[in-house]
Amino acid sequence: MQGGLFRMEPKVLIVDDAAFMRMIIRDVISKNGYQVVAEAENGAEAVDLYSEHVPDLVIMDITMPLMDGIEAVRQIMKNDNSAKIVMCSAMGQQSMVIESIKAGAKDFIVKPFQAERIVEALRKVMER
């Protein structure tokens, strides 16, 4: 604690059906001052974990089993219209990205990721 001020690390929920993608994202954001509070491998899990942890940010994959990222965004936004969600999409998913932004996502990053782009998107969304 410096000068009596204590800055909390923003809490993040990572949602991706691929464990290695969650690991890459966790690694990048942990090194950049974010705290991963939970990870989900599908949209249904994401909705449950969001209400349990109420993170500051969500990084959400679009294509997942059980419930895709767009539906998960709709559900989360219905429960918390101030949720800050950044979508992850593969190349060529522009129409799905547009759909997720309409559903309430604040930004998106494209796979394969560049670490700087992930951090830049999170900072931009947190500042809003």
The CATH number of residue 47's host domain is: 3.40.50.2300
Taking alpha carbons only, the member of 82, 81, 85, 73 closest to residue 109 is 85
Taking alpha carbons only, the member of 52, 106, 49 closest to residue 82 is 106
Question: Quick check: is 1 in a domain?
Answer: no
Question: Quick check: is 2 in a domain?
Answer: no
Q: What percent of the chain has pLDDT over 70?
A: 95
Q: What tokens appear for 65 in the block? A: 């089993």
Q: How far apart are CA 73 and CA 101, in angstroms?
A: 9
Low-confidence ranges of the chain (pLDDT < 70): 1-7
Question: Quick check: is 4 in a domain?
Answer: no
Place of tokens 């679009």: 62
What is the span of the domain harbouring residue 84?
11-127
CA 11: distance to chain centroid? Answer: 10
Question: Quick check: is 50 in a domain?
Answer: yes
Q: What is the pLDDT of residue 93?
A: 75
pTM of structure: 0.91
What's at 126, amino acid-wise? M
- 20 backbone φψ class: left, alpha, beta (φ>0; ψ -120 to 50): alpha
CA 97: distance to chain centroid? Answer: 13
Torsions phi, psi for 92 (to 5 deg): 85, 10
Number of domains in the chain: 1
What's at 12, amino acid-wise? V
**DSSP 3-state of 31:** coil
Q: What is the pLDDT of residue 84?
A: 98
